Amino acid sequence: MKPFCQTAFFLFFFFVSGDHLLLGQVNRVFIKSISYEGLKKTKIQAVKSYLNIKEGDSISLAELMPKLEENQRNILNSKLFSRAELKILEWQEESVCIHLKVVEAWYVFPIPIFELADRNINVWWKDFNRDISRVNSGIAIYWRNLAGYNDRFTFIAQFGFTRKFEIDYELPPIGKKQRFGISLNVLYSDNKESIFNSIDNKLMFYRNLESKERQFSRFRTGLTLRYRKSVYSNHYFELYYQKLGISDSIYIRNPDFFLSNRRTQRSFTFNYNYEIDKRDIWTYPLNGYLFYFNIQKRGLGFDRDINQLWLGSRVALHKKIAKRWSIGLISEGRYSVFGHKDPFYQQEALGYGDSFVRGYQYYVVNGQHYCLFRSDINFKILDYTIPISAKERSSFFYELPFRIHTRFHTDYGYVWDRFYYVGNKLNNKHMLSSGLGLDFALYNYNILIQIDYTINRLLQKDVFLTVKANF
C-alpha cells in the first residue's frame, strides 16, 4: 500500500501543481461578449458610450474586477438607470462573457416651479424677510432619454419676478465612433426687478411694480458642439448671440451697467471648454479627479458693445482614505486677459452659482480675477436603500437609495478688483471660513439637501441651506 500511496500522492501533486502553473500563465483575459438586460427605451449604443471596454478587448487579470467596477459607476453616472450591475456571466479558459443588468430610471420630470428671485435661500430668508412675493412660479419639463440616446429636452415657462421661456435640446455623441454631439438653446427672460449696483458687497435692486416696464430683459440663442475624446474627456465649442436691455431707471442709477451710455448690449460669445472627469459619482464625488479649462471671448470684433477675454479653470481631487472617510480638495479661478474696465454686469466673480466661499453666501464680490479653494473631510453616516415596490420590473421607483454624510470644511477666496471696489469691503480682501455640514442625498445623489454651520473671517456665524436637483 505504501508505494501506491506515494504514487497517488505524486500524481495528485502533479495535477494540482500543473493546473496551478497553467493558471499562473494566464495573466490576461479576452472579452468574448457583452450582453444587456433591462434596456426598454435606452439604445445599446447609448450604454456603450459610457463603457471603456468592448468586445475583443484584452485585459490583465489584475485589472479585470476594478475595470468592471469602474464601468458600473460610469453607467450610473449617465443618470439613465437607478440601478446597474456589471458582472462576469461566463468564464471559459482565457475568455469571459460580461453581462450588464440595469433598471431604467424615470426619465420625464414635469416639475412645478416655485423658485426664489434671489441668489439663494439664505439671502431670501434673511435679507428679504421671506417675502413670498419674491417667488417665481411656472412649469419646467425635463425629459431625459427622449429618443433613447440619453438626449435631453428641457422646456421652461416661468412667471413672476422673472418671466422666462426656454427651450433646450442636447444630443450626446452618437454614431459608430460616438465622437460628436450637439445642443441647441433659445431663451427669453425679463425682470420686474433688476440689480443696478453692489454696496457693502450686497446687490442693490430697483423695482417699480406700478409700471408695466421691465427693468431688465435678455434674449439668447446658441449652438454647442461637443467632441468626445473618450468616456472621461470632452471638448465643448459654444457660440451664442445675446441681446440685453435695461430700463431708463436702471441706467440712471448706474451708467456703467453696460458702459458707454448704453441701454442695450448685443454680442456674440465664443466659449471653449475642455474637461477630464474621472470622479466616481459626478453629482457627489468621493473618489477621483476633475480637470476643467475654459476660454470665453465676449465680443468677436464686429459687435463693439463689449470686448472681454477670460481664462478659467477648475481642478478637483477626491480621495477615499477609509471605508467611510474621504477628503476633497477643489481649486477654481479666473483671469481677465485684457484687464480693462468691463461693464458692471459682466464683473461677476464670487457669490454666484456654485462659486462662493462658504459662510459668505449673503455677499457678492465682483472683480476681474479671482481664486477659490475648498477642502472637505467627508464621513458617510448612513447608506440605506428604502424598498418601495417588490416588483422590480414594473416600477421605476421600486427602491430609493438614501444616504447621509457629514463634512468638515475650510474655504479660502480672493477677488482682485481695480474698478468697482469702492464701498465693497470684501473686494481685494482675503476671505476665510470653516464649519460643519450635513448632507442628505436621494436617488443616487441626484437630489441633495445640504445644511452647513459656518463661521467666516468676519466672525459671522450662521446656518446655510442648499437644495440641488441634478436631473
The pLDDT value recorded for residue 120 is 60
pLDDT at 328 (0 to 100): 97
Residue 396: band (very low, low, confident or very high) from pLDDT cuts 50, 70, 90: low
What's the pTM? Answer: 0.82
Cα–Cα separations (whole angstroms), residue 144 to 78, 102, 106, 139, 140 = 10, 16, 9, 16, 13
Q: What is the model's pLDDT at position 131?
A: 60
Three-class SS of residue 126? helix
Q: How far apart are CA 274 and CA 257, in angstroms?
A: 31
Query: What is residue 346's predicted lDDT score, i.e. its pLDDT?
Result: 92
Please give the pLDDT value at position 187: 97
Give me 266's grid cell: 448685443
**Total count of residues recorded for the chain:** 471
pLDDT at 1 over 60: no
- Which structural domains are found in the chain, ordered by start? 26-104 (3.10.20.310), 108-469 (2.40.160.50)
Residue 456 CA to residue 432 CA, distance in Å, equals 6
| CA proximity to 98, closest of 42, 45, 40, 53 | 53
DSSP string, 354-383: TBS-TT-TT--B--SEEEEEEEEEEEEEEE
- Report the alpha-carbon distance of residue 471 to residue 467 in Å, rounded: 13
Read off the C-alpha cell for 51. 463603457
Q: What is the tens place of the pLDDT at every residue in 219-243? A: 999 999 999 988 899 999 999 999 9
Per-residue model confidence as pLDDT tens digits over 303-317: 889 999 999 999 999
288: left (phi over 0), alpha (psi -120 to 50) or beta: left
Residue 416 to residue 426: CA distance in whole angstroms: 10
What is the residue-averaged pLDDT of the chain?
A: 87
